[in-house]
Every structure is written in C-alpha cells, then in structure tokens.
Amino acid sequence: MDLQLDLFTALAAEPAEPVPTPRRTAPPAAPARPTPAAPPSASPPRAKPAVRKRMSDEDVHRTAAALGEAVTDAWNRAHGGPDIAVPIGLVAALSLIRQHDAHGPDLKAQILAQQPRELIEMYQQIWAGHWQARPDLIDRARVLHEWLNKPDEIDDHRAYCVKAVTEAALRAGILDLTGHSDPIDRARTDALSHVIMLLRSKGARQGLGEFHTPPSVSDLLAEATLSALSADLNMATMQPGQHIHDPAGGSGGLLRSAAQALRWRGLDPADFQWSMVDVDAIAAACGAVNAIVWGLGPNVVVACDDTLANPNAVEDARAHARAVIAHRNQVMGTARMIAAIRQAQSLLESTVAA
C-alpha cells in the first residue's frame, strides 16, 4: 500500500512533536500552492487533500458527537457483534495518523480506496509503528488492537465490519478532529469518548459508573483548578515538572483540558507529569491513545485499576510501563542486530560474486 500515513518506519526514532503555538482566535493563513502542471499520461490525477478550515469549538464538539453516532450505526448495521473494543480500536487507530505531505495524495481518499484485507494490514502497521515509539501506552491500549494479532482468525465478515466502520469514521470527520499537525488542534475535543458512550449499553455505563463529561465543562474545571493552583503557589503560571493526576480519568477528558489550559499559558504539556486511573479497560486504553494524540509528552502513566482499592495504582502502572519499555528495547536491539547481520551477509555475497 502507498499510504501517506504518519507511521514510524522500521527502527526509526519517534518524530518530534510540533512546538505548541499560542492560542489562536483565527486560523493561520493557508500557504499559497502552485498550480500543478497536467500530467503527461492520460491517467486521472491523484486526489489532493482538501484545505481544512478551522472549525469553531461548537462545530468541533458537534462533529465528535456525529462521529460517535456514525460509527455506532455502521457497526450495528454490519452486525459487528458485542465486542465493542473492535470499532473503538479502529477509530483510535485512525486518530493516530495524519497527512504527511500537505501537497501529497489525500490520506482520506487513499484509505477509503483500500479493500477490507488491506485495511486490516494498515491497522496492524499503525499499532506496530506506534508501539515502537510508545510501547507503554500502546500496551495499555492492548484491548483495542489485540484481535489484530490473530489475522488467521479474522474472517470475511469481520473484515467487512472493519471496512464499514472505517468508512463511517472517515466520512464523519475523524481526520478533521485529529489529523492536524498542531497538538493544540488535535486536542480540541475527545473524539473517542462519544464512540465509547454510544457503543456501550445504558446498563453497562451505569454499572461502570461511566458518564461523558462535556468538553466545555472539563475545560472550565481545568482552568479553575490551574488558576487556583497558580494563586496558591503565588505564581502567574504552573511550573514545569509538576504532576497532574485524575483518579477517575475515563478516556482522559480532564487531562486534555488541563493540557490545553497549559498551552494557553505558553507552557508545553510535555514538560509536566501526567497520570490517570480508570477501572474500565476500554476507557483506560482510549486514555492511553489520547495521550499520544493530544501530545502530552513522555511522562504519562495510565493505569487500569480501582483507585479506592489500590492507592498504589499509578506506581504499579509505572513499574509495568518500565518493563514494557525494557522489552521494546530488547526487541528493537535484536532487530537491529539481525538487520546488521543481513546487511553484512549481503555485502559478503556481493563481494564473492564479483
């Protein structure tokens, strides 16, 4: 597949996040684009990415709600079954990618053109690539993608459901919410929260004590909290290195709001420590994915635990994260060694042949 995905190539280092910019009241001016010359062949030109207009906050939240409805409807119409981690995981994976080249082939059009089995391969690549960069968070999100590790068990109906949900999510605007290069724009709403809430039955939500907090409310809470802390510390702003924690984090909505509030103060969330706990494995998995999407940085711990029953939930999760990172380092070190051996063998064979 020739997809312009924001995937990490094999053995490549994680690309740096863009430097956060101050809060904007108007979209940045779009760069002028030269008019491309007509191709010499008769084949139709490749679709170019549409120029995205910066949506208002109201439109962003409305799009996120519509996304949840579209994905839920597509999954149910396709008779996807009770495993709601599958459609949620598909939306989560799509939230991790973005247009590499603003003047290149349109990412949305390329994905929509893929066949069901090609989409399965694409999702495997997305999760594998991000595991290389953030194994701690991708491991926490395992419930969303572990079914992809058994491709022989993915039948034609499951592949059909994957295609249906992918199309619904793209057409409902997932890339308009999370496909931006600037983390400020990627963190304007929690797209996964709506998907979770609508796919879950009312009884399951009540049993888990799970409720969606409107972004406007979480923004207000975060702003009030940070303002109070700043006043208590007799400082104009929060200080890098401080720890921001949510003991009942859900998919991370309050952390998102806190990160945005820091950016409005000219601070980088990557300079802070973040942690959240939630008893629901799917919500915690989405919180882990959102931490990447929202650019919270390297110091993030997501625990799937009961805060009241285990006061050491964050420390336990941190220890697990260190073990996962050590495993990644071992695997990648072995892969580099194998690659070096193969390169040496190839050079030797070419020398002997000459």
User: What is the domain partition of the chain in residue ranges?
Assistant: 57-313
- Quick check: 64 and 194 in contact, CB under 8 A? yes
**CA neighbours closer than 13 Å in the CB half-sphere of residue 296:** 28
C-alpha span between 16 and 298 (Å, rounded): 11
Determine if the pTM surpasses 0.75.
yes
Query: What string of pLDDT tens digits covers the 354 residues of the chain?
Result: 444 444 433 333 444 444 444 444 444 444 444 444 444 444 445 666 665 678 898 999 999 999 999 999 999 999 999 999 999 999 999 999 998 888 889 999 999 999 999 999 999 999 999 999 999 999 999 999 999 999 889 999 999 999 999 999 999 999 999 999 999 999 999 999 999 999 985 444 444 445 556 555 555 555 555 555 444 444 445 678 899 999 999 999 999 999 999 998 899 999 999 999 999 999 999 999 999 999 999 999 999 999 999 999 999 999 999 999 999 999 988 888 788 877 777 776 666 665
What would the two tokens of residue 255 be?
């952390």
Taking residue 334's Cβ as centre, other Cβ atoms within 10 Å add up to 10
